[in-house]
Amino acid sequence: MLRVENVTFAYDEQPVLKNISFTIEKGKHVALIGASGCGKSTLLKLIYGLLHADNGTLFWGDKQLMGPLYNLVPGEENMKYLSQGFELQAYRTVAENIGQYLSNIDQESKQERVDELLDIVEMKELADVKIENLSGGQKQRVALAKALAKKPELLLLDEPFHNIDNFRRSALRRNLFRFLKRNNITSITATHDKTDILSFADETLVIKQGELIAQQPTVQLYQSPKDYYIASLFGEVNEIILSSLRNTDETTSVLVYPNEIQIDNNSDIKVRVKNAYFNGGHYLIEAVLDNSIIFFNASKEYSAPEMVGIRISDEVIEKRKS
């Protein structure tokens, strides 16, 4: 179990993290989300031991994590931290980098381990290519395989897929998190990509301006976000005043995702189309409702200034009101 208790950190007296506390059970996969500059990367570095907390304590199981003021070599042995940079040896091959810290006593077992990791990151055909000849995305995949080589107990990932081509990213995610589950490896992934969050994270931590404002199971957090900031981290979201949806004087607003707005031309709620954006499987429609912009999904393209009827289920409205 990872325990972070009342951790505070500042760069040159500029507060970055403020009294952060949370626990993560062993084997869980956790997403760490928040606006750019909120402190996500700093928190990962504190956990790994690259930075020292100004106040508070951190524990992995019964062991206190002491940080660089107490460790001659920064970083915890049973953890791996994969940053947005690549700590690879440019003049060695992909396979040599991945197997760098594996024992040479049993060469057959070492080769099997390297081959397994090459399969996970889909780089078997590049095993003998030197790092200097790889693209940024390929280097990132090698760095990920290298981090997994000795099966860390805790894996800390900072935007691990941001350099990876879209066509390869989905398979890499599946391969990675399947491997982590199989080996009961705990992970924390700092990310802006909602697919990293929704598809693979058991829980999600939300940071805003250096403060931890939510820790919940991911599905629960997505379905019942407590405010606009949290909902917006999952993508487009609408904040709609109830009086625009019902015959009421209520000024309360509800948060509604675009996929939760249905097209219904028999509805009394009409919106005026401004733009339509093709998203592959659907169009994202930008429209005006009572002088406010909203977004919703549609199976076909609509053109400005077409009027379209919409509805939102009572179930969604009541859930978001609570």
Q: Which string of DSSP letters, residue by residue, matches 183-207?
A: TT-EEEEE-S-HHHHHHH-SEEEEE
pLDDT grade, residue 77 (50/70/90)?
confident
**What pLDDT, on the 0 to 100 scale, is given for residue 107?**
87
CB 157 within 8 A of CB 82: yes
User: Are residues 134 and 78 part of one domain?
Assistant: yes
What's the mean pLDDT in 22-42? 95
pLDDT digits (tens, 9 = 90+) for 122-147: 999 999 999 999 998 899 999 999 99
Q: Give domain status of residue 231, yes or no.
A: no
Final residue of a domain: which of 175, 203, 226?
Answer: 226
Per-residue pLDDT for 204 more than 90? yes
The model's confidence at residue 252, banded by pLDDT at 50, 70 and 90, is confident
Q: Specify the pLDDT at position 146.
A: 93
Q: What range defines the domain where residue 273 resides?
A: 236-321
Number of domains in the chain: 2
Nearest to 138 by CA among 125, 123, 148: 123
The answer to whether residues 136 and 42 belong to one domain is: yes
- What are the residue ranges of helices labelled H in the chain? 40-48, 94-98, 107-120, 136-148, 166-182, 194-200, 218-223, 228-232, 314-321
Instruction: Check whether residue 222 and residue 241 sit in a common domain.
Output: no
pLDDT for position 28? 96
Q: Is residue 279 in a domain?
A: yes
Check residue 231 and give its pLDDT: 95
Residue 255 has pLDDT above 80, yes or no: yes
Residue 300: what pLDDT? 94
pTM, two decimal places: 0.91
